[in-house]
Structure 1
Amino acid sequence: MIRKIIEINEEKCNGCGLCAEACHEGAIEMVDGKARLMRDDYCDGLGDCLPVCPANAISFVERKAAAYDADAVKKHQEEKTDGQLRQWPVQIRLAPVTAPYFEDAKLLIAADCTAYAYANFHKDFMRGKITLVGCPKLDAVDYAEKLTEILTHNHFQSVTVARMEVPCCGGLEQAVKTALINSKKMIPWQVVTFTTDGKILDV
């Protein structure tokens, strides 16, 4: 059938992975550092991925494509609800400075409480990422130095900071900002803030 579907320009794609995160159906995956539409029947043609792409690498086209298969998408999403932890250790203080799993990865730096506050944290935030966790209040340590070393000695596609709305989590966000500056690397990054009742705070 002929229908509206997304098209990804791999030459423009900067590999940030934001489109893959925005695609709730799982139609987009990162392959060799580039976003790729993996299955036409997973793409609903609504384009949630378009507004998050900083490189304007995604557009709509009309072409012959398999019909959107809601049942297949639902099954795929159910399969993705398993634990998404991809490495060990996860604590920032215990993590090595260099490791094979860091190379070309999307990095999630999360406050300890976020995974307890937000029910779908594994599926919505940890999937496809390397996860590091910490709590600046409980550890009573500035993570900036350790994170600077990790960012300096490895290549990351993107960095996502997951924090709670409470003031103590500001220390984690500030440590990541400092580390990004000190590493002198231009890495796409974002901060996601959760409320204490498990909602994502609009900023």
Structure 2
Amino acid sequence: MIRKIIHIDEEKCNGCGLCARACHESAIGIIDGKAKLLREDYCDGLGDCLPACPTNAISFVEKEAAAYDEAAVLENKKKLEAHSQLQQWPVQIKLVPINAPYFDDADLLIAADCTAYAYANFHQDFIKGKITLIGCPKLDSVDYSEKLIEIIRQNNIKSVTIVRMEVPCCGGIQNAAINAMKASGKFLPWQVYTISTDGRILA
């Protein structure tokens, strides 16, 4: 059938992966450093990926293509939910670069190390759709504020989510994140989640 789907210009693509994150159907993947339309029948033709692309490498075309298969997309989503939602590496605050393509237009998750172990559905409820930074101020014995200030200041961060444990030492990562947002000179939407030692969200 003739229908509207996306076309990716590989010469313009810089491999940032923002289109893949924006595609709710998981029709796009990054292969050999370039975005690819993995399956035509996963592309709904609505183009959520278009505004996410910083290089205008994505456009609409009308062509002979397999029909959009909503049932297959839903089944694929179920499979993906059982897998890691991590979108970048490294994740440790002290190791992550200050500038990276994945920070552009990113929702940032700043989490204490222990939270992913305490909260069972951490990937789906917190990591999914976000760029993840983790650390433990007690073990690292550092103030992450300076590094976080530069990440927020030098990149187009959309929002910040902070996840910490209820234990007092986790206050360090919350304070570092909040201080960094204030010192960056940017106004960002942000929220804090506190996880109990038995794996519940307290606030």
TM-score by length of 1: 0.63
Structure 1 distance, partners of 2:133, 2:189, is 17
Structure 2 distance, partners of 1:81, 1:104, is 26
What are the equivalent positions in structure 2 for 1:125-136 lying under 5 Å apart? 125-136=126-137
TM-score by length of 2: 0.63
Q: Kindly indicate whether the alpha-carbon contact (under 8 Å) linking 1:108 and 1:126 is maintained by their aligned counterparts in 2.
A: yes
Structure 1 partner of 2:158: 157
Structure 2 partner of 1:197: 198
Structure 1 distance, partners of 2:76, 2:113, is 30
Gaps of 5+ in 1: 1-19, 21-29, 34-68
What fraction of aligned residue pairs are identical, expressed as a percent?
A: 58
Structure 2 distance, partners of 1:109, 1:101, is 15
Q: Kindly indicate whether the alpha-carbon contact (under 8 Å) linking 1:92 and 1:132 is maintained by their aligned counterparts in 2.
A: yes
Q: Does 1:82 align with 2:77?
A: no
Gaps of 5+ in 2: 1-23, 25-47, 53-70
Structure 1 distance, partners of 2:180, 2:107, is 16
Structure 2 distance, partners of 1:103, 1:75, is 27
Q: State the Cα deviation string for residues 45-103 of structure 1 (Å, max 9, x = none).
A: xxxxxxxxxxxxxxxxxxxxxxxx9xx86873443221011111100001101000000
Superposed CA RMSD in Å reads: 2.4
Structure 1 distance, partners of 2:116, 2:187, is 27
Q: Does 1:147 align with 2:148?
A: yes
- Paired positions, count: 140
Instruction: From the CA coordinates, give the structure whose radius of gyration is larger.
Output: 2
Q: State the Cα deviation string for residues 10-48 of structure 1 (Å, max 9, x = none).
A: xxxxxxxxxx9xxxxxxxxx7536xxxxxxxxxxxxxxx
Q: Secondary structure at the match of 1:160?
A: strand
Q: Does 1:170 align with 2:171?
A: yes
Structure 2 partner of 1:111: 112
Q: Which moved more, 1:94-103 or 1:78-87?
A: 78-87
Q: State the Cα deviation string for residues 142-186 of structure 1 (Å, max 9, x = none).
A: 000110010000011110001000000000000011100100101
Q: Kindly indicate whether the alpha-carbon contact (under 8 Å) linking 1:165 and 1:196 is maintained by their aligned counterparts in 2.
A: yes
Q: Which amino acid aligns with 2:189?
A: P
Q: Kindly indicate whether the alpha-carbon contact (under 8 Å) linking 1:81 and 1:122 is maintained by their aligned counterparts in 2.
A: no
Structure 1 distance, partners of 2:90, 2:77, is 28
Q: Kindly indicate whether the alpha-carbon contact (under 8 Å) linking 1:114 and 1:163 is maintained by their aligned counterparts in 2.
A: yes
